[in-house]
Amino acid sequence: MTTLTHSAEASPVADIEYDYEELPETSPLTMHLIAGAAAGIMEHSVMYPFDIVKTRMQVVGSPSSVVYSGVTNALKVISTTEGVRSLWRGVMSVILGAGPAHAVYFATYEQTKKVFTAAAGGNANSLAAGAAGGVATIVSDALMNPFDVIKQRMQLAGTGYRNIIDCASKVLRHEGLRAFYVSYPTTLMMNMPFQSIQFGCYDLFRRSLNPTGSYSPVTHVFAGGMAGAVAAALTTPIDCCKTLLQTRGASADLEVRAASSMATAARIIYKQQGLNGFTRGMKPRVIANFPATAISWTTYEYFKWVISRRDAKRHF
């Protein structure tokens, strides 16, 4: 872990040393929550149109099941036939859910990583980071899953939902509370490897690109983006199953509407679309995740850096 030192000319807290890579022990949990919430909202809202394209490409047995020639074609078709605003349908659900979910996520990650690092003899490594990311996923996904269901229902064409409240109430009334969590096991099966891969790769790329460990926004952008892209590509097949489960209520296909597990979803996708069905939406998913995770990590690392500087000055 690298120590940063400010010169006397640059700062009144000359010769104070503080660790940037971890928030100080004196930092309250609220600081982890604030940093994580800001990162989550930035990550999901900025690249939202690409998430809609990904959902439209993966959905099965719905009016939204349109074959697009590519990401650019999908964006053009959706914006011209449904209006530009349709590319942001359901974004409020992401904002409302991503803030608290990512706050809990990063707070859990930081605390769990400390435990795993201590168990490894005090040496932080990519394995500890990946394992901590997996644990944090279990906690945050329990909070985020209902919001994700609402988001994907709003992203479909012809569903007739006026807003996220109308969507939530109709899903609850017609399909019950279970509809908000039917995809939770599948979500975990996707997000645990996704986050473990992402956190492990991010830690590996960050250390490789910036061995000194000093605060470097450029490093966080590239390390975060590459980590997100790799994780997104490798977990796309599971994401296809998750999308089918979360949008099943909007499907006209009775077999899809009856799907209740990842295994069932996988069988339906293979039956109707073959092996290619498990790679649908991979391109927009990777395109969206590269900048999204780059934004998330850069935002989070910036908050950590600011908080570390503030705490260093406070204890001077």
Please report how many Cα atoms fall inside a 13 Å half-sphere around the Cα of residue 78, on the Cβ side: 32
Q: What is the pTM of this model?
A: 0.71
Residue 190 is assigned to a structural domain of this protein: yes
Q: CA angle at residue 234 from 229 to 239, to 5 degrees?
A: 95
Is 36 within 8 Å of 105 (Cβ atoms)?
A: yes
Average pLDDT per block of 10 residues along the chain, 316 residues long: 37 40 55 71 81 88 70 90 90 86 82 85 75 86 93 86 93 94 91 85 91 87 95 95 92 91 95 94 92 84 78 62
Cα separation, 255 vs 55, in Å, equals 19
Residue 11 is assigned to a structural domain of this protein: no
Residue 19 is assigned to a structural domain of this protein: no
Cα separation, 292 vs 295, in Å, equals 5
Residue 128 is assigned to a structural domain of this protein: yes
- Domain span at residue 104? 28-311
Residue 166 is assigned to a structural domain of this protein: yes
The total domain count for the chain is 1
Residue 231 is assigned to a structural domain of this protein: yes
Q: What is the pLDDT of residue 37?
A: 75
Residue 107 is assigned to a structural domain of this protein: yes
Residue 2 is assigned to a structural domain of this protein: no
Residue 265 corresponds to which tokens in the numbers above?
């979803």
CATH of the domain at 229: 1.50.40.10
